[in-house]
Structure 1
Amino acid sequence: MYVTIPTQPSANADVTPLRNAHTIPAEARLKAGSYLYFEGDSVVWLYQVITGVLRLTRMLEDGRRQVISFGYPGDIVGFPSDGLHHTDCDVLVTARLQPYRRSSLECGDGDPELHQKLLQAALREISAMQDHFMMLGRKSAIEKVASFICVLSDRVGRDCGAYRHVELPMSRTDIADFLGLTTETVSRTFTQLRKSKIIAIDNIHTVIILRPTALLALSLGDRE
C-alpha cells in the first residue's frame, strides 16, 4: 500500500487469490513479528496478502530506516529487483499469504492467465510507487498524514454508527518513516487534526473520522 489513488479492492471484502486452481503451495500463515524475507534474499516466491498486514522496510547507509510500503489484503509483495528482494518484509498483523512462483511472473509458459495478472499487478505497483514519491516531495506534513488516513479509510475503514473507524496497526514511527517525516511531526499532526475535530483518537491504534470531507480536502491541499 502506497499513499496514492487506491486501485486495489477494499480489504473489507474477502480477497480472492489470483488463481484458485493449481496454485502450489497452499497458503502460508505467519504470526505478527515474524519475517517473510530479508533484503538481498533471492526471490523464489511472490506473495498475495489474503489477510493481515505486512511492513516493507529498507535501512539507509547511515542507519536510518525507510518504510517503503505496507502490504494489505489484495496487495502482492516480493517483486524482484535483479532477482533479489530489495526490502525486508515483516508481519504487523498475523497474515495469510498466497505464494506464487517467481517464474509465473517472468514467463507465461505454465499459466498465461496467472502470468498476465502478476504482470499487471507489478505495473500497478510501479505506478503507485511513482505517485507516492511525488506525494513525498510535494505535500506538507498535514497533507501527507491526511492522505495516509484517507487511503486507509478506503482500504480498511469500517462504519460504526455515523462515523468511520480506521485501525492503525503500525506505530507513529512507522508512519513517520513511511511519509518522510519525524515521529514528533506525525504525533503533532494527529493532535492538530484531533483538536480541529476532523478526527478523534479512540486509542493509539484507532482513528475515528468525524469530518471526512474536511479530511479529504486537507489531503488534496485545500486548507480550511
Structure 2
Amino acid sequence: MYVTIPKEHAETTPAVPLESACVKCPEARLKAGSYVYFEGDPVVWLYQITTGVLRLTRLLEDGRRQVIAFGYPGDVVGFPSGGLHHTDCEVLVDARLQPYRRSALENGEGDPKLHQELLQAALREISAMQDHFMMLGQKSALEKVASFLCILSDRVGQDVAGHRQVDLPMSRADIADFLGLTTETISRTFTQLRKSETIAIDNIHTIIILRPKALLALSLGDRGR
C-alpha cells in the first residue's frame, strides 16, 4: 500500500546515507523516526521492506503535507523520478530493509530475475498510485476510510477471537493526509463506523472489524447494508 541507512546497521543514529555505508547491500535495520531518504536525494538504492512500516510524504507548495503511501513488508520503495527521490521516506515502525542498487532495475545488471521482479514492483506502484488518485477524487469521506481499512485488513489484518484486527501504526493525521481529509473528519468517520457497529476501536492504534461485508459495501459506496 502504499513507504540513509546507519553504518553497520547502527540503530541509534537516525540518518546516515546508505550510499556511503553499504557496498554489498546487506539488510539494514532502522528505528522508528529515522529516515531512509529525503525528497530530492539522488536515487542510488531501492529498498524492499522485510519488516516494519514506512511513510512516504511530500510537502506541497503551500506547506501542506501529502502522505503519498505507507510501505509494508513486501513493498519496494525508492523508485526514481528523473533520477531523484520524489518523497521523504520515514520509518513508522522499526524496520528491516533489503537494499538493491538502482542499476538492477534499469539494466538488469548481474541478475535478470531481480530486474524483472523490481520492474513488476514498479508497475504495481504505478497501479496503486492510480487507484489512490481515483479514491482521492471520487469517494466520500466514509468511502475513503472504509476503503483504507479494507485494504489494510486484506494486507496486514489478523484474525483474533473471530474478528479481523487491524493495527494502525500511523496517526489520525497521517491517515487524513493520505486520504485528503482533515483529522477531525477522520475521527468523526471512525466514530460513525463504531456507532454503527461496523468496527470496534480497541485503542487508538487497533481497529477490530466486526462486520467486514458491511465495511466492504461502504467502501464501494453501498450504504444500504
TM-score where L is the length of structure 1: 0.89
- Shift in Å at residue 78 of structure 1? 0.1
Residue 83 of structure 2 corresponds to which residue in structure 1? 83
Deviations 1:158-186 (A, max 9, x none): 11111111000000000000000010100
- Shift in Å at residue 109 of structure 1? 3.4
Deviations 1:75-102 (A, max 9, x none): 0000000110000000000000000000
- Output the amino acid matched with 1:40: G
Residue 172 of structure 2 corresponds to which residue in structure 1? 172
- Shift in Å at residue 131 of structure 1? 1.2
Deviations 1:124-155 (A, max 9, x none): 11111111101110000000000000010111
| Paired-residue identity, % | 82
1:99 counterpart = 2:99: yes
- Shift in Å at residue 44 of structure 1? 0.6
Residue 43 of structure 1 corresponds to which residue in structure 2? 43
Native 8 Å contact 1:176 1:183 kept in 2: yes
Residue 8 of structure 1 corresponds to which residue in structure 2? none
Q: Which runs of 5+ in 1 are unaligned?
A: 3-22
- Output the amino acid matched with 1:50: T
Taking the aligned partners of 2:183 and 2:157, their CA distance within structure 1 comes to 23
- Output the amino acid matched with 2:205: H
Taking the aligned partners of 1:85 and 1:204, their CA distance within structure 2 comes to 32
| Higher RCO (CA-CA < 8 Å; seq separation 6+) | 1
Stretches of 4+ aligned residues off by more than 2 angstroms: none
Q: What number of residue pairs does the alignment pair up? A: 204
Taking the aligned partners of 1:102 and 1:109, their CA distance within structure 2 comes to 10
Taking the aligned partners of 1:170 and 1:189, their CA distance within structure 2 comes to 16
Taking the aligned partners of 2:59 and 2:49, their CA distance within structure 1 comes to 23
Native 8 Å contact 1:24 1:100 kept in 2: no
Residue 120 of structure 1 corresponds to which residue in structure 2? 120
- Output the amino acid matched with 1:152: L
Residue 130 of structure 1 corresponds to which residue in structure 2? 130
Native 8 Å contact 1:58 1:87 kept in 2: yes
What is the correspondence of 1:1-224 to structure 2 with a 5 Å cutoff? 1-2=1-2, 24-224=24-224
Q: CA RMSD in A?
A: 1.0
TM-score where L is the length of structure 2: 0.89
Taking the aligned partners of 2:184 and 2:109, their CA distance within structure 1 comes to 51
Taking the aligned partners of 1:162 and 1:113, their CA distance within structure 2 comes to 40
Taking the aligned partners of 1:76 and 1:25, their CA distance within structure 2 comes to 15
Native 8 Å contact 1:24 1:99 kept in 2: no
- Shift in Å at residue 223 of structure 1? 0.5
Q: Which runs of 5+ in 2 are unaligned?
A: 3-22
Taking the aligned partners of 2:48 and 2:63, their CA distance within structure 1 comes to 30
- Shift in Å at residue 24 of structure 1? 3.1
Deviations 1:37-65 (A, max 9, x none): 00000001000000000000000111100
